[in-house]
Amino acid sequence: MEKPMSRTETSTSPTFGTLNQAAKAVSREAPKLCLAFSKPPLPSQQDVGQLADSVLKSVLSLSTVYYWLPNSRDKTC
């Protein structure tokens, strides 16, 4: 049976550091997207494309790092 990682192991693991950076990137991009559409005038097509690309890149990075995480044998879902 695989031993679960301790809190210090998870917080210092390079994978978890990368996960933290990817989550921060998503949290930086989401407000930009929300603010762009929060009031008139709406952003141009070019601006929307750039916003969408940056959001997509950050979400794909987060998804990629998520799949790098070690599998836990005690998953409940």
pLDDT digits (tens, 9 = 90+) for 21-34: 999 999 999 999 99
For residue 61, give every residue at least 6 positions away whose Cβ sits within 8 Å of its Cβ, in sequence order, or none. Answer: 22, 25
Q: Is residue 20 situated within a structural domain?
A: yes
Q: Is residue 76 situated within a structural domain?
A: no
Q: Which two tokens stand for residue 40?
A: 């008139």
What is the model's pTM?
0.69
Q: What angle do CA 59, 63, 64 make, to 5 degrees?
A: 115
User: Tens of pLDDT along 3-51?
Assistant: 545 554 545 577 788 889 999 999 999 999 999 999 999 999 999 999 9
**29 by DSSP, 3-state: which?**
helix
Residue 3 CB burial class (10 angstroms; 0-12, 13-18, ≥19): exposed
Residue 18 is part of a domain; what is its CATH number? 1.20.1420.10
pLDDT at 1: 43
Q: Is residue 7 situated within a structural domain?
A: no
Q: Is residue 8 situated within a structural domain?
A: no
Return the closest-CA partner of residue 13 out of 63, 59, 21. Answer: 21
Give the chain's domain count: 1
Q: Which residue has the higher pLDDT, 70 or 22?
A: 22
Q: Which domain holds residue 31?
A: 14-68
